[in-house]
């Protein structure tokens, strides 16, 4: 070939003598292509086959890079078809441009035409498509558009071995130059992983300590020109001059200070790691867009490095500083190899890896770290979500391992404590989770524990209740003094349904009100009647009468936990109250969401009791009255008692039984079918709703004050309710917007 082009190995062969199917296909494509001209074919001594051709390139009058109208290209096909064909630009002065593969020799340059793995690329590639890919690479490079604006920046250096895990905040702290110690973990199969930590986080006398590391940050430089990996300390020094850094001068200064601080002689026998931060820009005048991390490990010891950069000398086995640095010694004899540095898993990186543009740092007090709570927590932690205090009194027992996020090694330990430990070992940096081993319902906890609970709730922005306990939920709503928004999550007994009750940001609709309205949906939607039925098997895991657990498949819990954690994250930007249920179709594993619309609560104080209902209930009962006009009508009230706090929740009502008497000025309630309907409501709601009183309507233009007949009914009601220790309750409904509750007595 002409001296204008680089030589390629192999003997010249005819196209018809080619034996590699891809080479034959490509040679045929070159022969028939409109913008490609065949030159020759060759076969290498190892059996590979080469097709040389001239590519006809569309080039503007002022190309961004020196690409010619005709570029001579060689494509080398491997006999085993195990690797991507190597594409060489044979022109001896072919420019150094982005997307060039590194080779042992700079020329001929190797073109990187795809980011796909070869196993994927060859599924759809033909000789003709490869010809066109090469041409388009040349055309785009000539225009300067090969590397798109939305593509990640090209590396400045390539080639590395073995991972090195760095502190997540390296190069973001007050100093950009730090001393680190590196320990080595056995990764199996002869592989090792290096872990870099700051001196305060590691014992420098540890047997695991193998390397001492210094970190350096260069000035920004444009991406796109990929360099070969430096083989010696001097070559690394020359490379870093592009980032306006004098590595040898910096290293001499650092080693001198380090040697004065750390007197342990055995540290001199450790090897030296250099961690380099390379800020990259998209072009010459742009701002820094990305930080490329590189790490280099010396083959020689620190003692040898200091000698070879003219910092100190060894006499009779002792190291002494030279009075003047010997600048003739520049580390040319110190070989370096590259490590593959990665940052530890920080809050920010956790959010980024989960596709979250901005991380939420809300303070969350989580109560209950059982199956659902533990898995939801770990999902959110792995997304970097929140700053947590975990509260649970329970300990991990063997049966918990069927569905809990903790592994068996923590059996016997407090769930909250070890969940916090697991989170803090997952996320680098300051602790993301704290723990309190406590029962929130036990006022006899130690004073310091109660103080911690109070602080956790007071400082929280969200109180997440995963206890699956109505008493705990009520305690968190009524007895905990905090501005935090309450969110309650739980599974039904079968684990097929998951419910989220989330208050609004201003807490105008609290969790207990949401709970009651959720029950109203259950008793009025036939397809939800089986939601709380306990038809799954229970098993005894220990000898106590309470040592029983439900049989719920782990995959149900995992599926619902993923939905729950995602929804909690979305609620961060949603200030409104939210109630929804997700139901798994166990046959085809589909998930259906049911969204429940909530209405504003209505509360009134009567004596020592508080009546709680909502606008949805009142709208419904006014509609029932209107449908029976001009006659009066009535029925029974359905609700729930909180005897501890003297609260009566009025949730729904049953309409007039068919044996009732309804007249324009008279109503006498019947009882046909009433008992069975109330029993059904109790079953559907797991005994949370029951009969709580009576209601009836008054004619149009009449007040809602009780008549003499109403007083007689109230007396009857008082007699029967007080035998059960419950207050009598009557509701009279009048014209739209008019109603009156009478509790305990009628004035």
Spatial distance between the Cα atoms of 382 and 569, rounded to a whole number of angstroms? 12
- Do residues 362 and 387 touch, judged by C-beta distance below 8 A? yes
Helix %, strand %, coil % for the chain, to 5?
A: 30, 30, 40
Write out 75-133 in H/E/C secondary structure: EEECCCCCCCCEEEECECCCCCCCCEECCCCCCCEEECCCCCCHHHHHHHCCHHHHHHH
**Torsion angle, CA of 148/150/156/161, rounded to 10 degrees?**
-120
Query: For residue 164, what are its two tokens?
Result: 């090195």
**Torsion angle, CA of 102/107/111/116, rounded to 10 degrees?**
-30
The residue length of the chain stands at 747
- Do residues 646 and 512 touch, judged by C-beta distance below 8 A? no
487, containing H or E segment: strand 485-491
Spatial distance between the Cα atoms of 21 and 79, rounded to a whole number of angstroms? 9
Spatial distance between the Cα atoms of 616 and 598, rounded to a whole number of angstroms? 8
Spatial distance between the Cα atoms of 22 and 31, rounded to a whole number of angstroms? 14
Beta bridge partners of 740: 732
Spatial distance between the Cα atoms of 483 and 112, rounded to a whole number of angstroms? 58
| CA nearest neighbour of 734 among 632, 657, 664 | 632
Query: For residue 328, what are its two tokens?
Result: 């003739």
Q: Which residues are marked as active site?
A: 632
Spatial distance between the Cα atoms of 396 and 410, rounded to a whole number of angstroms? 7
Angle at alpha carbon of residue 652, lines to 649 and 656, rounded to 5°:
130
CA-CA-CA-CA torsion sign (612, 614, 617, 623):
positive
- Distances in Å between the Cα of 631 and the Cα atoms of 114, 558, 628, 740 are 81, 54, 6, 19
Phi, psi for 5 (deg, rounded to 5)? -120, 150
- Do residues 547 and 560 touch, judged by C-beta distance below 8 A? no
- Do residues 684 and 662 touch, judged by C-beta distance below 8 A? no
Spatial distance between the Cα atoms of 741 and 733, rounded to a whole number of angstroms? 9
- Do residues 216 and 205 touch, judged by C-beta distance below 8 A? no
- Do residues 6 and 108 touch, judged by C-beta distance below 8 A? yes
Neighbours of 724 (CB within 10 A): 6
- Distances in Å between the Cα of 296 and the Cα atoms of 161, 224, 272, 299, 479 are 10, 21, 8, 10, 58
Phi, psi for 333 (deg, rounded to 5)? -95, 0
Spatial distance between the Cα atoms of 262 and 254, rounded to a whole number of angstroms? 12
| CA nearest neighbour of 558 among 366, 351, 379, 408 | 379
Query: For residue 365, what are its two tokens?
Result: 């007090």
Q: First vs last Cα of the chain: how many Å apart?
A: 115
DSSP-derived pairing of the beta strands 601-606 and 609-614: antiparallel
- Do residues 8 and 107 touch, judged by C-beta distance below 8 A? no
């Amino acid at each position: 070939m002409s001296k204008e082009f680089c030589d390629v190995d192999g003997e010249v062969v005819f196209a018809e003598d080619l034996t590699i199917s891809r080479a034959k296909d490509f040679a045929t494509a070159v022969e028939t292509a409109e913008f490609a001209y065949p030159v020759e074919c060759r076969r290498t001594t190892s059996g590979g086959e080469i097709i040389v051709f001239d590519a006809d390139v569309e080039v503007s009058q002022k190309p961004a890079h020196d690409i010619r109208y005709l570029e001579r290209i060689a494509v080398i096909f491997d006999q085993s078809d195990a690797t991507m064909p190597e594409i060489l630009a044979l022109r001896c002065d072919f420019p150094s441009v982005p997307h060039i593969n590194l080779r042992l020799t700079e020329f001929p340059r190797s073109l990187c035409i795809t980011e796909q793995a070869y196993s994927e690329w060859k599924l759809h590639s033909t000789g003709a498509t490869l010809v066109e890919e090469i041409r388009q690479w040349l055309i785009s490079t000539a225009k300067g558009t090969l590397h798109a604006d939305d593509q990640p920046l090209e590396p400045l250096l390539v080639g590395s071995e073995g991972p090195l895990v760095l502190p997540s905040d390296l190069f973001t702290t007050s100093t950009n130059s730090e001393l680190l110690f590196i320990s080595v973990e056995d990764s199996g199969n002869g592989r090792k992983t290096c872990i870099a930590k700051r001196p305060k986080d590691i014992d420098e006398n540890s047997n695991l300590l193998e390397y001492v590391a210094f970190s350096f940050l260069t000035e920004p430089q444009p991406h796109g020109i990929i360099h070969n990996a430096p083989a010696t300390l001097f070559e690394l020094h020359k490379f870093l001059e592009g980032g306006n850094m004098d590595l040898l001068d910096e290293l001499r200064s650092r080693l001198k200070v380090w040697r004065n601080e750390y007197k342990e002689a055995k540290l001199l026998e450790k090897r030296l790691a250099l961690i380099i931060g390379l800020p990259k820009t998209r072009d010459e005048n742009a701002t820094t867009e990305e930080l490329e991390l590189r790490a280099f490990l010396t083959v020689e010891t620190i003692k040898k490095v200091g000698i070879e950069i003219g910092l100190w000398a060894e006499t009779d086995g002792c190291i002494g500083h030279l009075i003047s640095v010997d600048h003739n010694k520049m580390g040319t004899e110190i070989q370096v190899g590259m490590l593959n540095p990665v940052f530890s898993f920080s809050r920010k990186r956790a959010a980024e890896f989960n596709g979250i543009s901005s991380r939420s740092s809300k303070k969350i007090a989580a109560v209950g770290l059982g199956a659902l709570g533990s898995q939801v927590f770990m999902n959110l932690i792995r997304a970097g979500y929140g700053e947590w205090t975990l509260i649970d009194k329970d300990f991990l027992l063997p049966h918990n391992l069927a569905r809990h996020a903790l592994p068996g090694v923590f059996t016997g330990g407090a769930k909250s404590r070890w969940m916090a430990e697991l989170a803090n070992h997952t996320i680098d940096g300051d602790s993301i989770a704290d723990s309190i081993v406590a029962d929130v319902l036990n006022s006899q906890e130690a004073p310091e524990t109660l103080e911690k609970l109070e602080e956790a709730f007071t400082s929280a922005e969200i109180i997440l209740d995963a206890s699956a306990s109505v008493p705990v939920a009520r305690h968190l709503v009524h007895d905990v003094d905090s501005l935090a928004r309450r969110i309650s999550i739980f599974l039904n007994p079968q684990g097929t349904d998951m419910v989220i009750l989330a208050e609004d940001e201003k807490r105008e609709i609290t969790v207990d009100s949401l709970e009651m309205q959720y029950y109203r949906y259950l008793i009025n939607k036939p397809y939800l009647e089986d939601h709380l039925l306990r038809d799954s098997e229970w098993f005894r895991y220990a000898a106590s009468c309470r040592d029983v657990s439900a049989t719920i498949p782990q995959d149900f819990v995992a599926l619902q936990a993923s939905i729950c954690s995602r929804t909690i994250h979305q609620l961060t930007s949603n200030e409104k109250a939210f109630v929804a249920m997700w139901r798994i179709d166990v046959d085809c594993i589909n998930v259906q969401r049911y969204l429940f619309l909530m209405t504003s609560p209505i509360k009134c104080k009567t004596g020592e009791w508080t009546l709680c209902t909502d606008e949805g209930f009142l709208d419904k009962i006014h509609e029932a009255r209107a449908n029976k006009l001009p006659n009066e009508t009535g029925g029974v009230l359905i609700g729930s008692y909180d005897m501890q706090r003297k609260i009566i929740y009025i949730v729904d009502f049953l309409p007039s039984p068919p044996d009732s008497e309804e007249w324009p000025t008279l109503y006498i309630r019947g009882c046909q079918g009433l008992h069975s309907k109330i029993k059904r409501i109790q079953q559907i709601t797991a005994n949370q709703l029951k009969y709580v009183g009576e209601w009836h309507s008054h004619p149009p233009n009449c007040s809602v004050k009780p008549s003499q007949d109403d007083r007689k009914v109230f007396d009857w009601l008082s007699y029967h309710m007080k035998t059960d220790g419950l207050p009598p309750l009557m509701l009279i409904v009048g014209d739209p917007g008019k109603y009156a509750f009478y509790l305990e007595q009628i004035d």
